[in-house]
Amino acid sequence: MKKLPDALQRSTVARHATLSSPTRTTTGLKLLGAALGAVLVAAIAVTAFVVIDLATRATADSVALEGAPDIAPPALGEFPGAFDLLLTGTDECGEISRQYLGERCEGEEGPLNDANLLVHVSENPRRVTVISFPRDLMLRVPSCTHEDGSEASEMSKQPLNTVFAHAGLSCVAKTVGELTGFPVGFAAKLSFDGVIEMTNAIGGVDICIAEPGLSDEHTGLNLPAGMHTVQGVEALQFLRTRHGVGDESDLARISNQQQYMSRLAKKILSADVLGNPATVLRLANTVAENIVPSAELSNPLRLGQLALAIRDVPFSDFVFVQFPTLTDPEDPDRVVADEDAAAALFAALEANQPLELTGGVSPNEGVEEVTPSAEPAPDPTSTPDEERAVLPSEITGVTVEQETCSAGNLR
């Protein structure tokens, strides 16, 4: 075999350099670096898989919202501007709830959208207002388009909780948007099983029961006075109870649910949840499994944008209110909108004013306000000198910094 010319021969060692033998230390560092690199690559791969998996599952049953505002594609950072999100809870049973509710799940008409909450998040400065609408609110339902493209007719006056069965989640969002004047850009539906699974994912919610305790044979809930952590089926029982609180009306139940949601908001915004990656991942996975989102809400990046938008909202500007109503003159068991009081609420939200509630925490004795167990620390993000919009006394509700207890109606 011919030998290459000297000029074309490549040495594997730099000329004039001193060769050193590899030591155990250098070999160990190289192996450690390779191992760390492998772990990093694996972590990135797992994270990518989780995100793609969550996105795929969330998108599978997503619903397009008719008449929703144009929304920019998801991006890094918090969501720009104000937005409105509708959360609808239906009375649909699943494998878990069917085991506990039995006959309650059989032969029911529906499904009914018994819980309807509009989450309004303002532009900067950020404020969160959650409006609960009574299930028996009589209102106009606009014409809507079914998912298969067919048309659902307009109805001049129907109970709000029949709209989902009439034309689906998109129609509920369109109806609430027309009632409030705030076009709904995002929406999600949650069933009985979803409530059970999501409360399990965060380890339950602490709720307060006032003397003499709470008992409701209709839901099977029995809780003595004091603090309790409810999750799973017990959380569903607590959210469903009507006969166990106040005057046994749906309005009393809404106040009871607002206690739960206020304490839930505190927990999710705390380090116990948002500061725990394992809990966040478990919650994200549970959300993907148990909600039916609107199309714009099915992207994990979008969920991150919305979460970032509310992370620094002071508890005094995180407000839960009941939509103001009057007794329906045509049916004493139904309610209609109190248009004057509602107009004052919507004007304050449109102007992005902080809210001052004057109507108390419950119109039907569903809850009672209590003194917090510990004095809250000053919030550096709050704006105490900013003029607040004083809402009419017909509007009741609670801020997250307030504490309430369920007023059981044991006699």
Tell me the per-residue pLDDT of 197-241, one tens digit each, with 9 for 90 and over. 888 888 899 999 999 999 998 888 999 999 999 999 999 999 999
Helix axes 24-60, 300-310, angle to 10 degrees: 90
Helix axes 192-201, 232-240, angle to 10 degrees: 130
Q: What is the mean pLDDT of the chain?
A: 82
* Other beta carbons within 10 Å of 136: 19
In this structure, are residues 154 and 142 in contact, taking their beta carbons and an 8 Å threshold? yes
335 pLDDT more than 90: yes
215: left (phi over 0), alpha (psi -120 to 50) or beta: beta
pLDDT at 306 (0 to 100)? 87
Average the pLDDT over 15-27 and give the result: 48
Which one is predicted more confidently, 299 or 80?
80
Summarised one tens digit per residue, pLDDT across range 120-134 is 999 999 999 999 999
* Other beta carbons within 10 Å of 267: 15
Residue of 182, 167, 166, 94 whose CA lies nearest to 133: 182
Summarised one tens digit per residue, pLDDT across range 52-85 is 444 555 556 788 899 889 888 888 788 999 999 9
In this structure, are residues 216 and 243 in contact, taking their beta carbons and an 8 Å threshold? yes
Which one is predicted more confidently, 339 or 42?
339
- What is the share, in percent, of the chain residues with pLDDT greater than 70? 79
Distances (CA, A) of 139 to 246, 330, 349, 395, 397: 25, 13, 21, 18, 22
pLDDT at 31 (0 to 100)? 52
Rounded to two decimals, the pTM is 0.82
pLDDT at 134 (0 to 100)? 95
380 pLDDT more than 90: no
